[in-house]
Amino acid sequence: MSKRDFYEVLGVARDASERDIKKAYKRLAMKFHPDRNPGDTQAEESFKEVKEAYEILTDSEKRAAYDQFGHAGVDPNRGGGGFGGGGGDFGDIFGDVFGDIFGGGRRGGGRSGPSRGNDLRYNMELSLEEAVKGITKEIRIPVLTSCDSCHGSGAKKGSSAQTCGTCHGQGQVQMRQGFFAVNQTCPTCHGKGKVIKDPCNKCHGQGRVEKTKTLSVKIPAGVDTGDRIRLSGEGEAGEMGAPAGDLYVQVHVKDHPIFQRDGNNLYCEVPIGFSTAAVGGDIEVPTLDGRVNLKVSAETQTGRMFRLRGKGVKSVRSHAVGDLICKVIIETPVNLTERQKELLREFDQTMEGSSKKHSPKAEGFFDGVKKFFDDLTS
């Protein structure tokens, strides 16, 4: 059964701070703690899940590995021992501590045999429109693939790999230094457990050849910067027929000239004339689906936000759709004719003596300035 995303388990964003993660953990730990839910096996499992997510995401190294490779990066049963609990026996401890002293340690967390292929990462840049609506893209990646001549075995056609005579197929040999007995990688088969007497001419016994592979990647609607798409088995081929790794497509959404994205909401600035702001009116604003009309109410001030519901981004993880938030910026007219300037002066004269009525913010500001200087001189 596949594990849930750790960020989803804690209900935090991928860029959440350690403080936010701890806060979410405390809340969920109290909710699912076995002492508060006696006999509830589901709550007990949820508590374990929350605890595991917290331990990974509050450790900088483990979190970095998880962000890059997902659960594969923190799985203790994968290559290099991984992260996490689970113990191991007395020999495991001494193999990890003293392995380098005696010429290498235990390989792959103590497991012998051919290694699984490496996971790969591909950085994909998308426009905002592509990320919001979804798209299918073709990518080309250089990758080690299984040799089609020997089918990944590394041995010439008609022959096969033989069990290693040094380690007898274990991939490890035991080396004694005084009272220490330390397992290390077999120097003959390099941990594979088998040796190839008659190697394949095409791959020279490696079982893999480098090839440029073309893949079609379906990007779901609503992805954002930092999201990853996992293509199972599309990484490097494993050694001697071992399973292939995975390919992770890392998404980066390019800046847009009009819109800014925050979660599922879009933001944009809309310039309007001061006459429209004063008396109100209808203006056209852009959306990702085309232009729509926005009704500007009278006496609108610069910086006011107007919300267009459902004109944002549909979440990649749910059916929720965000909004478009339009911030109006009142634009001062330029390149005026003499007649236009004259009309503005006439208009300004009609405002004299009633500034408090027509410009309450300006009147309040200057009253504050006056009081400030009066206090300095008193």
How many Cβ atoms sit within 10 Å of the Cβ of residue 21?
Answer: 20
Binding residue positions for Zn(2+): 147, 150, 164, 167, 186, 189, 200, 203
Which CATH code is given to the segment(s) 1-87?
Answer: 1.10.287.110
CATH class of this structure's domain 256-332: mainly beta
pLDDT at 371: 65
State the pLDDT at residue 136.
Answer: 95
Q: Torsions phi, psi of 266, nearest 5?
A: -115, 145
Q: Which residues of the chain have pLDDT under 50?
A: 1, 78-111
pLDDT at position 193: 82
Inter-residue contact 120 to 143 (CB < 8 Å): yes
CA–CA separation, 311 and 292 (whole Å): 10
Q: Following DSSP, what letter does each residue of 235-300 receive, concatenated?
A: SPPPGGGPPP--EEEEEEEPP-SS-EEETTEEEEEEEEEHHHHHH-EEEEEEETTEEEEEEEPTTP
pLDDT score of 357: 63
Annotated binding site: 147, 150, 164, 167, 186, 189, 200, 203
With contact defined as beta carbons under 8 Å apart, do 185 and 171 qualify?
yes
Residue-range domain boundaries for the chain = 1-87, 256-332, 340-378
pLDDT in tens, 70-114: 777 777 654 433 333 333 333 332 333 333 333 333 334 444 556
| Cα 265 to Cα 287: distance, rounded to the nearest angstrom | 12
- The residues pairing with 328 across neighbouring beta strands, listed in sequence order, are 270
Encode pLDDT of 181-227 as tens digits. 777 888 888 777 888 888 888 888 888 888 899 999 999 999 999 99
